[in-house]
Amino acid sequence: DADVTQTPRNRITKTGKRIMLECSQTKGHDRMYWYRQDPGLGLRLIYYSFDVKDINKGEISDGYSVSRQAQAKFSLSLESAIPNQTALYFCATSDPGTGNSYNEQFFGPGTRLTVL
Partner 1 sequence: GENVEQHPSTLSVQEGDSAVIKCTYSDSASNYFPWYKQELGKGPQLIIDIRSNVGEKKDQRIAVTLNKTAKHFSLHITETQPEDSAVYFCAASQTGYSTLTFGKGTMLLVSP
**Contact positions toward partner 1, by CB under 8 A?**
4, 33, 40-45, 48, 58-59, 90, 92, 96, 100-105, 107-110
- Euclidean distance between CA atoms 66 and 33, whole angstroms: 10
The nearest distance, CB 66 to partner 1, in angstroms, is 14
The nearest distance, CB 50 to partner 1, in angstroms, is 9
95 contact partners, CB below 8 Å, separation of at least 6: 27, 28, 29, 30, 31
Q: Which is nearer to partner 1, 65 or 107 (CB)?
A: 107
The nearest distance, CB 53 to partner 1, in angstroms, is 18
Read out DSSP for 48-81?
A: EESSTT--EE-TT-TT-EEEEEETTEEEEEESS-
Q: Which is nearer to partner 1, 79 or 104 (CB)?
A: 104
Q: Which is nearer to partner 1, 58 or 63 (CB)?
A: 58
